[in-house]
Structures are given as structure tokens and as C-alpha cells.
Amino acid sequence: MVLNHTEIKRDENLPGHANELPAFIVKENPRLSEAEQLRLEKRARIFIKEAIIKMRGKQWDLASQELEDTRRVCKTLNWPEGLVHVDEMREMLVSKRASDSLETHSRVARERFTKNQSARAQRVLVEHTRLDQLHEASRERMSTLRNVIETSKTLEIGRLASMLNLDEAFVKNLASGWVDRFGFKIVGDKIIFGNGNRNDFIDALAKQFSS
């Protein structure tokens, strides 16, 4: 009987090791000489080692093929202990492959979620910036309008429409209501403030047209 055993330093990060194949005992075999059996045993250990390397690299299909080659050699050698070991390795491969697939799926899902979340945050930021700019523009517009109304005796309806960023015809339709409400007069295309209530007029414009 010949035992083929080679000491290999154990690496806990590997899923298995070539020396974990059980010892092979040369048998009486009319088809295979002792030298041929030992040669095949060596090939089986090489296949196992390659399978381990490929499993560590997550090359699942290649690792599976190496295990099938190992199994074929074990059957040829009538090596039941080797077959048991190969089957255990195959179960380990299936488990690790499934775990890797789940991990990959989870990672992709997390990356997609993070990307979508970042995109949403960017859209919110852009919208807030836009609204802030609109608010600031409106504030400046109303500030300018207040200054014009407070310091002027008259104001052209066209200019008022422009300052409010409104259609002139629309503002003309509103002007008739301002006459009675705030005590103004309209002469031609001008609003005559006179002794009318300018402050209430400015506040009403700010409430209705500021954004």
C-alpha cells in the first residue's frame, strides 16, 4: 500500500485544500498499474486545488468543471472517500455561489437605491434653489415697486405691468377696481395716486402677485 500525503500550509480564507482529499490507497486493479493510479491521484489533487482557486476567484462555472474532472478521476480509481469529498465540495460551491449571487444582488440594489436617493436629493436641491431665486427676485421686484409708488405721484400702467411681470391688458382691467378701493384716479394710461392709500395698495399687490 502507498499513501500519498503532502503537507500544505492551511489558509482559512480558502473554501478547501488539496490535502483535504482523503488519503488514497493503491488497490489491486487489472486495468491500472500502481504508477497509473498514483498519477491519477495526483491529477485529482491538482483538479481539487484548481477548483479551490477558482472558487476563491468566484469563477463558479470553471470551479464546477474542475470538481467534475476530480469526480471522474475518483470514479476511475474507485476512490469512494474522494467522491464523498468532491460531493461536499460541490455542495459548498453551490452554497457559496448562491450567497455570492445574493450579495451581488443586494449590492446592486443598494447602489441603485443610493443613486436614486442622490438623484432625488439633487432634484430637491435644484428645486429649492429655483424657488429661493424666484422668492428673492419677487422680493427685489416688490421692494423696487414700493419705492416707486411711495416716491411717485403717478405710475404708468404699462410700467406697473412690467414691474409685476404681468400682461398690460390684465393690469388695465384691475386698475378700475383700484380706483374705488384705494382712492386713486386713472387718467389715460396713468394711475394718479393723489391722497389714496398707497401702503394698502402696495400690500395688496405684494399679497396677490409676489411669489
Nearest to 24 by CA among 66, 89, 76, 63: 76
Domains of the chain: 1-133 (no CATH), 152-209 (1.10.10)
3-state percent breakdown (helix, strand, coil) of the chain, nearest 5: 70, 5, 25
pLDDT of residue 134: 80
Tens-digit pLDDT profile for the chain (211 aa)? 344 443 334 444 444 554 578 889 998 888 899 999 999 999 999 999 999 999 999 999 999 999 999 999 999 999 999 999 999 999 999 999 999 988 888 888 888 888 888 888 888 888 888 888 888 877 888 888 888 888 888 999 888 888 888 888 888 888 888 888 898 888 888 899 888 898 888 888 888 876 5
DSSP of 122-154? HHHHHHHHHHHHHHHHHHHHHHHHHHHHHH-SE
* Residue 196 burial by Cβ neighbours in a 10 Å radius (0-12, 13-18, 19+): middle
Longest alpha-carbon distance in the chain: 126
pLDDT the model gives residue 204: 86
How far apart CA 54 and CA 34 sit, in angstroms, is 30
pTM metric for this prediction? 0.48
